[in-house]
Amino acid sequence: MNACVFPGQGAQFVGMGKDLYDNYSQAREWFEQANQILGFRITDVMFSGSDDDLKQTKVTQPAIFLHSVILAGIIGDRFNPDMAAGHSLGEFSALVATKALSFENGLVLVSQRASAMQKACELQPSTMAAIIGLDDAIVEKACNEIEDIVVPANYNSPGQIVISGSIKGIDLAVEKLTLLGAKRAIKLAVGGAFHSPLMEPARMELEIAIDHADIHKPICPVYQNVTSEPSVDPAIIKENIKKQLTSPVKWTQTVRNMLNDGATCFYEIGPGTVLQGLIKKVDKNILAESIRL
């Protein structure tokens, strides 16, 4: 069974999507439509902007979304997954690619999500850290024992968790987890505590937009970050994406569930190859590769 997966923030690179724009008229139409919806020429930043320009949250998230969903659209009839999932932002790409959301509604939600997250980041200084080489349970217990806000945010692969919280909470956690034997415990260069309670203002803002979004039954089950379980029910999908910003991304659990449900190959659709690496850490023998046009 084929599983299609869609990357999240961090997969961006300058030049992303330019080959699609140059070689496919349908891609050009979608990109130009995106420029109009967003109110600025995101294509200019994607194709020839600076790294710093592309790293702005308001640009990064819609840029990765556009690369992913336009690539899926150009694949056309060859895009026929038995199941799908996306990492954080990538869940919105997965929902558009599987026809649960329209291109326009998906892009508007992603833009609103990026704006809401940026505002939440500015309300309170916060950050994230990558913890390598410890069991999930050890990281979870250490976070629970710290009085400041610090929680597991991304269960990326076995032995790789990203934690999220206040500056003080993350500093304490990095120190504690290093003493507990983490191979690496590194603060990340991010502007906020994504997938933590500190994103509550963003969750509340985005919830209103999601309530007004028209979500349909996808063409295949979509495994969602919050539960790691598949769904085709629009009401369940809607509730899960409402909770996503303040809940951990259960990526390891998602990949395991997809494997248990019969996935034999994973195709990453979008910029980069990050998800392929994470999937291989869950099962080194599984086929995981990028979609080629």
The answer to whether 73 and 269 have CB atoms below 8 angstroms apart is: no
Tokens 């949250």 belong to: 57
One domain, residues 50 and 71:
yes
Which secondary structure element, helix H or strand E, spans residue 257, and what is its range? helix 251-260
The answer to whether 185 and 132 have CB atoms below 8 angstroms apart is: yes
Query: What DSSP character marks residue 249?
Result: B
Chosen domain end from 140, 164, 187: 187
Question: What's the pLDDT score for residue 55?
Answer: 86
Domain count across the chain: 2
Of 57, 65, 106, which is closest to residue 209 (Cα–Cα)?
106
Taking 80 as the threshold, does the pLDDT of residue 292 lie above it?
no
One domain, residues 132 and 235:
no
Whether 101 is in a domain gets the answer yes
Query: What DSSP character marks residue 245?
Result: G
Question: What's the pLDDT score for residue 138?
Answer: 97
Question: What's the pLDDT score for residue 235?
Answer: 96
Supply the DSSP string of 26-94, one letter for each residue: HHHHHHHHHHHHHTS-HHHHHHH--HHHHTSHHHHHHHHHHHHHHHHHHHGGG---SEEEESTTHHHHH
Taking 90 as the threshold, does the pLDDT of residue 79 lie above it?
no
Residues shown for the chain: 293
One domain, residues 33 and 79:
yes
Question: Catalytic one among 87, 195, 196, 247?
Answer: 195
One domain, residues 145 and 250:
no
- Residue 176, domain CATH: 3.30.70.250
Question: What's the pLDDT score for residue 17?
Answer: 95
Q: Phi-psi bin for 158: left (phi > 0), alpha (psi -120 to 50), beta? A: beta
Question: What's the pLDDT score for residue 293?
Answer: 77
Q: Span 77-88, mean pLDDT?
A: 92
Question: Catalytic one among 88, 111, 126, 228?
Answer: 88
Question: What's the pLDDT score for residue 30?
Answer: 98
One domain, residues 161 and 230:
no
Q: Which residues contact 3 (CB under 8 A, 6 or more apart)?
A: 81, 82, 83, 84, 85, 258, 263, 265, 266, 267
Chosen domain end from 163, 187, 211: 187
Global pTM?
0.96
Is 228 part of the annotated catalytic residue set?
Answer: no
Whether 192 is in a domain gets the answer no
Taking 90 as the threshold, does the pLDDT of residue 58 lie above it?
no
- Which structure tokens are listed for 200? 């509550």
One domain, residues 139 and 40:
no
Instruction: Quote the crossing angle between the two packed helices 90-97 and 234-243, to the nearest 10°.
Output: 160
Q: How many percent of the chain have pLDDT more than 90?
A: 89
Question: What's the pLDDT score for residue 4?
Answer: 97
Taking 80 as the threshold, does the pLDDT of residue 285 lie above it?
yes
Q: How many percent of the chain have pLDDT more than 70?
A: 100
Q: Span 91-105, mean pLDDT?
A: 97
**Digit-coded pLDDT (tens) for 188-244:** 988 789 999 999 999 999 999 999 999 999 999 999 999 999 999 999 999 999 999
One domain, residues 118 and 180:
no
Question: What's the pLDDT score for residue 185?
Answer: 95
One domain, residues 246 and 182:
no
Whether 270 is in a domain gets the answer yes
- Residue 99, domain CATH: 3.40.366.10
Owning domain of residue 132 = 126-187
Taking 90 as the threshold, does the pLDDT of residue 271 lie above it?
yes
Report the distance separating Cα 193 and Cα 124, nearest Å: 9
3-state secondary structure of 157: strand
**Digit-coded pLDDT (tens) for 129-151:** 999 999 999 999 999 999 999 99
One domain, residues 111 and 226:
yes
Supply the DSSP string of 179-229, one letter for each residue: HTT-SEEEE---SS-TTSGGGHHHHHHHHHHHHHS-----SS-EE-TTT--
Q: In the chain, what's the furthest Cα-to-Cα distance? A: 55
Chosen domain end from 187, 209, 240: 187
Question: What's the pLDDT score for residue 11?
Answer: 85
Whether 183 is in a domain gets the answer yes
One domain, residues 217 and 248:
yes
**Digit-coded pLDDT (tens) for 7-24:** 998 888 999 999 999 999
One domain, residues 58 and 89:
yes
Question: What's the pLDDT score for residue 189?
Answer: 80
Taking 80 as the threshold, does the pLDDT of residue 81 lie above it?
yes
Report the distance separating Cα 170 and Cα 160, nearest Å: 16
One domain, residues 147 and 21:
no
Q: Span 261-288, mean pLDDT?
A: 95
Is 166 part of the annotated catalytic residue set?
Answer: no
